[in-house]
């Protein structure tokens, strides 16, 4: 049986914190900022520790098991990244410190800019945006500034394939643009005829995910880019999931004009709990003047003899630089530095050859699993996949749905795949194994899926009622959507 969650732990007079004596003269707090009634819980340190550890044990995490949540790249996050981010010299710097006291931080950011430029094939990178969707918003604002500066005021339409992540149309709409959907063909590519019909001088650009959210590499990529560029539009790349491309192919070299990276997906910062992320933006030379700033610039110190430049870090001074036509700041201070340290450490630890191996293994693992899963569930598209693939969560002759399959996977100890996305595949199960899983783990997952396919035929009610072993049984999702309660408001 599932034990109830206990929240009412407070007992009058109990306290879990000892505050040090104040070392400065106290000052008056304006009365309007003070509340007399503030029902804070009164709990001991022991109560608090047990409460949160108990909650964490009810949760599922990548550090517990396999987490094939497509489009989220739940790879294992090496702990050395956290060790680096916790180094006191990096952890305790303050954003108001003078630049000459934080040369190490700026050097790290400069190298990260360079690494991301090289990985993406771009001329420049800004590390400011705080997440993927924020990077998208930044990129679209740069495209807007570019068009406006050229006097192209009539461009108001953003083209978006029907397989796109929901943040793409949301970003465009938030930027005040009209979203025009482009269809997909039967092989899962952008429908070229539909795209051609929609390309005209009102087009701001196309937001394209490649490999797309079906896990498929766009087979007519260069034609797609030519069509959009041909009508004066720009091509935005959604690079949230770069695993398949790492060290193998550069979006900038393909012709993308601007792209965001998700450091918290591809570059191994833990995510999924709503914690800080980072969505740097890379772009072509034509768009570089519009990047949000400040970005880090490296300057050569005058007194250094020329033959020493290359290897002597002391020959360089790092400083902030605002690009000439910058769209401005998109984040307070300089972005999420701790996430940057993790990404920097990850890239440094792997090196160029290691990054390429990540890409190759991510694609190999996805194809290996795809071959095993397709014995039990139909694939959305019979193609070689990239870092992920989509199958149809339905079994001939059974009323079991993708949601039932996902919930049943919890009983088998796995996190479910992404459900009902992309929207163009009915009963979609989107599976991304990532490169950090062993063959044994992939086999165990495939075995669970095989058993679930069998159960769908023989005991469908078992699946309709799953999960059976999780701390929480199936939620009433309809009620949750209509009557959303986000705060614990005490026992009735
Ligand atoms: C995750 C994701 C995003 C959004 O990234 P956030 O950091 O969650 O804002 C955008 N596009 C794709 C394809 C994604 O997978």
Please write down the HEC assignment for all residues of 223-279. HHHHHHHHCCCEEEEEECCCCCCCCCCCHHHHCCCEEEECCCCCCCCCCCCCCCCCC
In order along its 492 residues, the chain shows pLDDT tens digits of 344 456 788 899 999 888 899 999 988 999 898 888 887 889 999 999 999 999 888 889 999 999 999 999 999 999 999 999 999 999 999 999 999 999 999 999 999 999 999 999 999 999 999 999 999 999 999 999 999 999 999 999 999 999 999 999 999 999 999 999 999 999 999 999 999 999 999 999 999 999 999 999 999 999 999 999 999 999 999 999 999 999 999 999 999 999 999 999 999 999 987 779 999 999 999 999 999 999 999 999 877 777 766 677 788 999 999 999 999 999 999 999 999 999 999 999 999 999 999 999 999 999 999 999 999 999 999 999 999 999 999 999 999 999 999 999 999 999 999 999 999 999 999 999 999 999 999 999 999 999 999 999 999 999 999 999 998 899 888 898 899 888 877 665
Q: Are 409 and 393 in contact (CB under 8 A)?
A: no
Pocket test for ligand 1, best of 172, 262, 339, 417 (most atoms within 8 A of CB): 262
Q: Which two tokens stand for residue 298?
A: 């490296």
How many other C-beta atoms can be found within 10 angstroms of the C-beta atom of residue 122? 27
Q: Is 241 in the pocket of ligand 1 (CB under 6 A)?
A: yes
Q: Is 279 in the pocket of ligand 1 (CB under 6 A)?
A: yes
The model's pTM: 0.93
Nearest CA owner, ligand 1 atom 7:
132
The closest alpha carbon to 191, from 158, 215, 162, 231, belongs to 162
Q: Which two tokens stand for residue 453?
A: 């396919």
18-36 burial, b at 16+ Cβ within 10 Å, e below that, comes to eeeeeeeeeeeeeeeeeee
Cα gap 114→129, rounded to integer Å: 17
Size of the chain in residues: 492
Q: Which two tokens stand for residue 379?
A: 């694939």
Q: Which atom of ligand 1 is nearest to the CA of 71?
A: 15
Domain boundaries, the chain: 80-348, 352-479
Please tell me the chain's helix, strand, coil percentages from 3-state DSSP, rounded to the nearest 5: 35, 10, 50
Q: Are 158 and 180 in contact (CB under 8 A)?
A: yes
Instruction: Enter the CATH code of domain 352-479.
Output: 3.90.1150.10
DSSP string covering 146-206: HHHHTT-TT--EEEEETTS-THHHHHHHHTTPEEEEE-B-TTSSB-HHHHHHH-STTEEEE
Q: Is 277 in the pocket of ligand 1 (CB under 6 A)?
A: yes
Q: 199: Cβ–Cβ under 8 A, 6 or more apart, which residues?
A: 159, 227, 228, 230, 231, 233
Q: Are 68 and 430 in contact (CB under 8 A)?
A: no
Cα gap 164→375, rounded to integer Å: 27
Pocket test for ligand 1, best of 168, 240, 241, 421 (most atoms within 8 A of CB): 240
Cα gap 226→230, rounded to integer Å: 6
Q: Are 399 and 419 in contact (CB under 8 A)?
A: no
CATH class of 80-348: alpha beta
Half-sphere exposure of residue 34, counting CA atoms within 13 Å on the CB side?
5
């Amino acid at each position: 049986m599932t034990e109830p969650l206990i929240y009412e732990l407070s007992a009058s007079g109990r306290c879990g914190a000892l505050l040090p004596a104040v070392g400065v003269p106290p000052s008056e707090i304006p009365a309007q900022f003070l509340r007399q009634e503030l029902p804070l819980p009164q709990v001991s340190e022991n109560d608090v520790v047990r409460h949160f550890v108990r909650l964490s044990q009810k949760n599922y995490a990548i550090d517990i098991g396999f987490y094939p949540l497509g489009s989220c790249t739940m790879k294992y996050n090496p702990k050395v990244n956290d060790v680096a981010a916790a180094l006191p010299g990096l952890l305790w710097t303050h954003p108001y410190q003078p630049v000459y006291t934080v040369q190490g931080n700026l050097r790290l950011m400069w190298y990260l800019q360079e690494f991301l430029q090289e990985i993406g094939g771009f001329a420049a990178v800004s590390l400011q945006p705080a997440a993927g969707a924020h990077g998208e918003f930044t990129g679209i604002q740069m495209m807007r500034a570019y068009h406006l500066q050229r006097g192209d005021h009539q461009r108001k339409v953003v083209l978006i394939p029907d397989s796109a992540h929901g943040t793409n149309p949301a970003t465009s709409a938030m930027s005040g643009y009209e979203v025009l959907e482009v269809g997909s063909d039967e092989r899962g590519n952008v429908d070229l005829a539909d795209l051609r019909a929609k390309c005209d001088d009102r087009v701001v650009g196309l937001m394209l995910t490649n490999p797309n959210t079906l896990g498929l590499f766009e087979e007519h990529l260069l034609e797609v880019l030519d069509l959009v560029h041909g009508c004066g539009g720009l091509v935005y790349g959604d690079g949230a999931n770069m695993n398949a491309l790492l060290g193998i192919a550069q979006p900038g070299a393909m012709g993308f004009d601007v792209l965001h990276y998700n450091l918290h997906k591809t570059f191994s910062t833990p995510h999924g709990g709503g914690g800080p992320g980072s969505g740097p933006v890379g772009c072509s030379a034509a768009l570089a003047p519009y990047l949000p700033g400040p970005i880090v610039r490296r300057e050569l110190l005058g007194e250094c003899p020329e033959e020493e430049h290359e290897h002597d870090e002391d020959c360089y001074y790092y400083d902030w630089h605002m690009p000439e036509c910058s769209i401005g700041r998109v984040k307070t201070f300089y972005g999420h530095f701790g996430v940057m340290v993790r990404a920097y450490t990850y890239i440094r630890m792997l090196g160029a050859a290691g990054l390429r191996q990540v890409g190759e293994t991510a694609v190999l693992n996805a194809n290996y699993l795809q071959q095993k899963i397709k014995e039990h569930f139909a694939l959305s598209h019979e193609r070689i996949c990239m870092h992920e693939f989509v199958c149809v969560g339905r079994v001939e002759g059974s009323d079991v749905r993708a949601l039932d399959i996902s919930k049943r996977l919890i009983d088998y100890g796995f996190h479910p795949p992404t459900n009902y996305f992309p929207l163009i595949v009915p009963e979609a199960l989107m599976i991304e194994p990532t490169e950090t899983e062993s063959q044994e783990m992939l086999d165990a997952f495939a075995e669970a899926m095989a058993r679930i396919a069998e159960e769908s035929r023989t005991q469908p009610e078992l699946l309709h009622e799953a999960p059976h072993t999780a701390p929480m049984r199936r939620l009433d999702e309809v009620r949750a959507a209509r009557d959303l309660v986000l705060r614990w408001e005490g026992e009735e």
